[in-house]
Amino acid sequence: GAGVSQSPSNKVTEKGKDVELRCDPISGHTALYWYRQSLGQGLEFLIYFQGNSAPDKSGLPSDRFSAERTGGSVSTLTIQRTQQEDSAVYLCASSSSGLGGDTQYFGPGTRLTVL
């Protein structure tokens, strides 16, 4: 594809429900990142994938958050038992190799609202 795509673009859910957010990176990019952007805040790093492995999960805020990547391509971020404080825009980015200095290309994000 031409760029990073994410789905859904908007998700409204009730507190306590599970949600899955999807990211399709740029074809051939080995590195994939998830960030969270809360209203008026900067980008908070969540997790980094190199291929299908996640060497850095340090940014996941709690064990309710998990992510996987399959086939070195699509990634899914899952939030279990959603809470109102999970409401944010979840951004996915990919880069060609994951080395520092590689440009990270961002998707449009998924806006999650937990009622």
| Interacting residue ranges for another protein, rule: CB under 8 A | 4, 31, 33, 40-43, 45, 48, 50, 56, 91, 93, 95, 98-109
User: How is residue 16 annotated by DSSP?
Assistant: T
Nearer to another protein, 72 or 108 (CB): 108
User: Strand ranges (DSSP E) for 8-103?
Assistant: 10-13, 19-24, 31-37, 43-50, 53-56, 65-69, 75-79, 88-95
Nearer to another protein, 5 or 76 (CB): 5
Smallest gap from residue 71 Cβ to another protein (A)? 20
Smallest gap from residue 8 Cβ to another protein (A)? 14
Q: Which of 104, 92, 114, 111 is nearest to 18 (CA)?
A: 114
Smallest gap from residue 100 Cβ to another protein (A)? 4
Q: Rg (Cα) of the chain, in Å, rounded?
A: 13
Nearer to another protein, 59 or 80 (CB): 59
